[in-house]
Structure 1
Amino acid sequence: MNRATTFVTGALSGLAAVAGWRYYRSRATESVDYETRRTDDGIEIREYPTVVVAETVAANRGSARRRLQHYLDGANSVEARIPATTPLRTQVESVEVPTTDGSESSTHPVRVGTYLPPGYSPQTAPEPTDRSVLLTVETPRTIAVRSVPIYSSGDRVDRAKTRLLEAIESTDLVAVGSPFVFNYDNSLLGSLTGRAEVGIEIA
């Protein structure tokens, strides 16, 4: 590939990324509301309200995001387009599955959830037509979050999770479950800015 072709390909990729970002921003008009209780050792303690979540478990984030995007685009019981919100929640799950020789092999699918706008309740949220997408309700909860550095090298998300858990251990807080990732901005189409947070529910 010559330099001219490389330049054109790069320019087209950049334009496509910008178009995707604008498309998502035009639809992601709301974010999940919360109240900040306090900040402590680099982490922020937040109170989140009851919210309806459309979520799915898939082999990878791309497949999960596509399913959720189809649901928001009208693959639901009322064939209505639902405004996207931020953040998008992603959590890696470890599942033991049987193999042909009788042993068990560990896989790591991802659970991805998109929050519905606050105007939707468990009674009014449109049901997905795809059975792999489920509606769940998160009751009021307290979450500890830590920002993920954008420009650090290596696995910045894993390091942020480790630091989050270490910070919680040094306080009077108790972590519940396993950490997850909040992706912001162009989250369904793939974040351009890399803005993200790691979080975990606390008691």
Structure 2
Amino acid sequence: MRKVWKVFGFVVLGGVGLAAAAVAGWWYTTNNVEQPKYAVVTRDGSIEVRDYPALIVAEVVRGGDRRAAVRAGFSPLANYIFAKEREGQSIAMTAPVTQRRESIAMTAPVTQRLQPGADDRWVVRFIMPSEYALEDLPLPASADVSLKPVPPARRAAIRFSGVATDVLIAEQEARLMAWLERRGLTPQGSPTYAYYNDPFTPGPLRRNEVLVDLAD
């Protein structure tokens, strides 16, 4: 019996060690990857109103449902920053990877916005490191990838953890929209979904956000 408990103890300690390693890896990654330096205007729990500076993004457009589109968009963007298909040096990875549906009315119900559809088109973006001006970035080898400036903007954001399923995103988006309505703030354009972690990060350690630009 003593031997059984000893083996059980090693298993438990091994599990704790793996969990600690996962937390350490998550902390290192999230603290060593550049993120946009926004200013918080208002904070209410998991919801913030932020002022973002001008940004430069590399983007692709993909069709289909949300999950398939972000996966399809990731590969050409990764090929661009890691210089897989172009000349020049690689570009540092940043966070988050963002995704926004094209041409969608803000008055449509949240459940309709997140229904998968073959006609949906999604803009998937990598944010370029702040050290680069637009003219300093190497040109993409593929016409699929576009480099674009994004002007400064005030955005509302809600932060949440977990695996970013359509249901979870819809719930958080609804919370954010209700919060904006109570405060008389007007959303503008399509919501943006932001993913800060790789797919191997455990759900409870993931950082996800729904963001929406605010009208002046």
Moved more, 66-75 or 154-163: 154-163
Instruction: Could you tell me which runs of 5 or more consecutive residues in structure 1 were left unpaired when the two chains were aligned.
Output: 1-13, 96-104
* 1:57–1:70 CA distance, 2 compared to 1 (3 A): same
- Counterpart position of 1:124: 136
1:1-203, aligned counterparts within 5 Å?
25=29, 29-40=33-44, 42-59=46-63, 60-75=69-84, 78-93=87-102, 107-150=119-162, 155-186=167-198, 190=199, 192-193=201-202, 194-203=206-215
* 1:94–1:175 CA distance, 2 compared to 1 (3 A): closer
Moved more, 34-43 or 117-126: 34-43
Deviation digits for residues 65-88 of structure 1, max 9, x if unmatched? 001100011147642200010111
Deviation digits for residues 157-182 of structure 1, max 9, x if unmatched? 11111111111111132111011111
Q: 1:150 Cα deviation (Å)?
A: 2.1
Q: 1:29 Cα deviation (Å)?
A: 2.7
* 1:61–1:106 CA distance, 2 compared to 1 (3 A): closer
The TM-score with structure 1 as length reference comes to 0.74
CA RMSD of aligned residues (A): 3.0
Deviation digits for residues 116-172 of structure 1, max 9, x if unmatched? 000011221222111011011111111100013427997111111111111111113
* 1:182–1:125 CA distance, 2 compared to 1 (3 A): same
Q: 1:93 Cα deviation (Å)?
A: 3.1
Q: 1:41 Cα deviation (Å)?
A: 7.0
Q: Quote the Cα distance in structure 1 between the aligned partners of 2:183 and 2:54.
A: 26
- Counterpart position of 1:102: none
- Counterpart position of 2:113: none
Q: SS where residue 135 of structure 2 aligns?
A: coil
* 1:108–1:30 CA distance, 2 compared to 1 (3 A): same
Q: SS where residue 89 of structure 2 aligns?
A: coil
Q: Pick the structure with more helix per residue.
A: 2
The TM-score with structure 2 as length reference comes to 0.69
Aligned AA for 1:136? K
Deviation digits for residues 18-52 of structure 1, max 9, x if unmatched? 8xx78x949x6311111101124752001110110
Q: Pick the structure with more strand per residue.
A: 1
Q: 1:192 Cα deviation (Å)?
A: 2.1
Tell me if structure 1 keeps the 8 A contact 2:102–2:123: yes
* 1:197–1:77 CA distance, 2 compared to 1 (3 A): same
Q: Quote the Cα distance in structure 2 between the aligned partners of 1:76 and 1:151.
A: 31
Tell me if structure 1 keeps the 8 A contact 2:157–2:210: yes
Aligned AA for 1:30? E
